[in-house]
Amino acid sequence: MSVRRALHWFRRDLRLADNSALIEAARRFDEVVPVFIFDPHLLGADDIGSARVRFLVDSLATLRADLDQRGVPLLIRHGDPRTILPGLARETNASAVFANRDYGPYGRRRDAAVAEALATIGVAWEDHADLLLVEPWECLTGEGKPYTVFTPFSRRWRNIQKCTPQRAPRLRAVPETVTPGNLPTAEELGMGGTSDIPAGGEAQARRRLRRFAERRLGRYASDRDIPSIDGTSGVSVDLKFGTLSARQVFAAAADYVGHESIDLDPAKPAPSMNAAERERLREAGTFVNELCWRDFYQAVLFHFPSVLRGAFRERFRDVAWPEERPEIIDAWTEGRTGFPIVDAGMRQLARRGWMHNRLRMITASFLAKILLVDWRIGERVFMQRLVDGDAAANNGGWQWSASTGTDATPYFRIFNPLLQSKKFDPEGVYIRTWVPELADVEAPLIHEPARDPATLARTGYPAPCVDYAERRKQALDLLGAAGGPGPASPRPRRSVKRAR
């Protein structure tokens, strides 16, 4: 009897455990031939960044080694998946191609074209739910419409049962009938880079998650907002590339609570929970809320793909952001604005390819609402630099910060970098780490060194690149003209969901 063979196309699911499509392919076929394709369309995009490419290559090397141990070669190809996959299916005599589902506009178009190309040669296409905890079309309003506000989305989302993670499938050794192909280095792909990024691969990802669950999850609710503390999970890069599944991350939170509860809602402890379980629910439930934001922004992108082009809210689509001077945009990008907390965040991004969430909000809000630069410029800079750069989460975060998005902060709420700095980095520990020229400046002066010209002269730290009060007023005028009533008669509360 002939061997029944399928291809598994790895994309952002670079792991063997709990990989929905791979598990299904291994269950139904005798042999699974895995392939990864470097797509020039993605590699050539203007928002690609070296940090992500380096993490990708590192994770692929680990995946290849893990598969080699099972006698299964990971094929590496370069080119257009619409031609590569039908060609490979013929070469390997595979009758189906499996992949995990993509929700962005390019991925959906590409997958539809791949499915069509495969159909013409009689090869089946199967995509599976894997990236998210809840599919975008499973979490809809009572009228079957997509949610555009986070809180009602999250209420519904919490009540949907999440799947438990599955083990890595047993893969049968595959004879090497086709050339595996070389895995290029990031340099060979033109993406060297020097930022200090985490190690790639499934084993490292699981170690990161285990450490977080053991050491930091128990203090997540209080520590997550302090940028000088390593208080968050650091698994965003693993969720971006699938070196962890969202189900594995959710399961770690559920295990921590140690109580049967499908929704992990910190506001609704089960009556049978004891005090310790309630406390654990508070921490883990706050963490799970962030996983819900992740699903929310993917659902927004799925239902409203035009958010990648401009403001979600129509009335903000024609805002003419007035600041276009390259020296101002460069000062923000390079961390030289003269606002220490903003500069610290941007320098952390440059060095680590990652920035603390509090700083993402501060720096994004600052670019749009104080520098008055079109937020899409900042969105692209983040995508070029973030190791976890994800179109849905990044766009959601930027539109939230610029007040143009689905669930945005009201336009008249403008983060004051000085107050944010004093509140979330009171002693200036975070600033000192990333802005070393201010290392010996004491708090509170470290939050606004320009108050003392001698400190600026001695440290060489720049004076503020704009006048905060003046710019704040301009922002209120600019956005107020587009956004309707200001603080005196705020918009209804339902559009103001995220307390910051």
| Positions in the binding site for ligand FAD (CB under 6 A) | 224, 232-236, 239-240, 290-291, 293-294, 297, 357, 360-361, 364, 382, 386, 388-390, 393-394, 396-398, 401
Count of other CB atoms within 10 angstroms of residue 495 = 16
Residue number with CB closer to ligand FAD (56 or 364): 364
Q: Closest distance between ligand FAD and the C-beta of residue 174, in Å?
A: 33
Q: Which is nearer to ligand FAD, 39 or 238 (CB)?
A: 238
CB of 376 to ligand FAD, least distance (A): 12
- Smaller CB distance to ligand FAD: residue 78 or 351? 351
The minimum distance between CB 402 and ligand FAD, in angstroms, equals 9
> Minimum distance from CB of 239 to ligand FAD (Å)?
4
Interatomic CA distance for residues 159 and 166, integer angstroms: 21
Output the smallest distance, CB 299 to ligand FAD, in A.
11
Q: Between residues 125 and 157, which has the closer beta carbon with respect to ligand FAD? A: 157
Using Cβ positions, the residue closest to ligand FAD within the complex turns out to be 397
Min CB(347)–ligand FAD separation in Å: 16
Least CB distance from residue 419 to ligand FAD, whole Å? Answer: 17
Q: Rounded to the nearest whole angstrom, what is the least distance from the CB of residue 46 to ligand FAD in the complex?
A: 16
Residue 140's φ and ψ, nearest 5 degrees, are: -125, 165
Beta carbon nearer to ligand FAD, 191 or 361: 361
Report the residue number, 92 or 245, with the smaller CB distance to ligand FAD: 245
Q: How many CA atoms lie within 13 A of 256 on its CB side?
A: 30
**Minimal distance, residue 365 CB to ligand FAD, in Å:** 8
Reduce the secondary structure of the chain to three states and give it as a string.
CCCCEEEEEECCCCCCCCCHHHHHHHHHCCEEEEEEEECHHHHCCCCCCHHHHHHHHHHHHHHHHHHHHCCCCCEEEECCHHHHHHHHHHHHCCCEEEEECCCCHHHHHHHHHHHHHHHCCCCEEEEECCCCCCCHHHCECCCCCECCCHHHHHHHHHCCCCCCCCCCCCCCCCCCCCCCCCCCCCCCCCCCCCCCCCCCCHHHHHHHHHHHHHHHHHHHHHHCCCCCCCCCCCCHHHHHHCCCCHHHHHHHHHHHHCCCCCCCCCCCCCCCCCHHHHHHHHHHHHHHHHHHHHHHHHHHHHHCHHHHCCCCCHHHCCCCCCCCCHHHHHHHHHCCCCCHHHHHHHHHHHHHCCCCHHHHHHHHHHHHHCCCCCHHHHHHHHHHHCCCCCHHHHHHHHHHHHCCCCCCCCCCCCCCHHHHHHHHCCCCHHHHHHCHHHCCCCCCHHHCHHHCHHHHHHHCCCCCCCCHHHHHHHHHHHHHHHHCCCCCCCCCHHHCCCCC
Of residues 19 and 363, the one with the C-beta less far from ligand FAD: 363
- Judged by beta carbon, residue 93 or residue 222, the one nearer ligand FAD is 222
| Of 86 and 231, CB closest to ligand FAD | 231
Of the pair 64, 240, the CB lying nearest ligand FAD is at: 240
Separation of alpha carbons 87 and 419, rounded Å: 59
CB 406 to ligand FAD: min, Å: 12
